[in-house]
Amino acid sequence: MIRIAKALVCILLASTAVQAQITTSRVKVLVTGKRCSELKEAYLVINGADLEDQWVKLEPAGTCRWTADLGDGSISTDRAKFSLRGDFARSDCQQAAPNEQELSANLEFACCAQDPLRNVSVKIQPPMPFTYVRDVRPFTGDRIHGIKCLERGTFADGQGSIGHTQFSGEDVYLHLGPYDRKQPTLGLLLDDLVVDDGTLVLTRAGVVYRLLVQRAKGKERSAPTLSSNAISLDTRKLGELKLERAEIEVIK
């Protein structure tokens, strides 16, 4: 009987958890922290869609409170992932808490990590598509613990800016040529390359060398390796793309 009772409790709890998830177009955001009232503009990145024209603009709804109506772009609170962008801040990623009475997705973000934000300009010659992938870690010290997430953007013409990067809380990878989410190749880690003064120019050989260093250190969730086969694959891919150089610069 005890086992049956426990099983029934588990079923009831699971049923309650399922019922608590909602699909909605209404989002409410609370920003906490000493500087939350300094935010003049705020945006949401939803489900990793990170190009600035994909950011969802939030409307003020009181001190440190914001709201958005997604219209036809409704989200499910059990699957959607969000992060915040502001004048001088970015957040880690969070999932929303469902409000069944108001049919809204409620979010809380802490403001703001003290580490510097950078807008990173990338230009590829000759022009070719490139994709950046942001591997965002939970920020330490937040009242509500964040979740890991990936945020992406693709520039079709070989030039673009990656906004509000904060390398203390994320790894930003650059993938040259067509990008396949299911079979991604090793991306060029920008965290170790970006300089605040001047433009870093990498030739094809320079990119191959940087990828070699990453492989040796085991970056991007791979085991350390100096495999000559991997190096040959990098060299061949960049040769097929006819890459001449990559220019990386911090802009204001």
Structural domains in the chain, CATH included, are 23-110 (2.60.40.10), 118-251 (no CATH)
Residue 135 in tokens: 């591997």
Among 40-44, 75-79, 92-96, 114-118, which is the least confidently predicted range?
114-118
- The yes-or-no verdict on residue 160 having pLDDT over 60 is yes
Helix (H, G, I), strand (E, B) or coil at 92: strand
The residue among 196 and 135 whose pLDDT is bigger is: 135
d(C-alpha 222, C-alpha 215), whole Å: 7
The residue among 219 and 67 whose pLDDT is bigger is: 67
Name the average pLDDT for the chain. Answer: 87
d(C-alpha 241, C-alpha 235), whole Å: 10
pTM: 0.86
Residue 123 in tokens: 């230009």
What is the mean pLDDT of the segment spanning 147-157? 96
Query: pLDDT grade, residue 9 (50/70/90)?
Result: very low
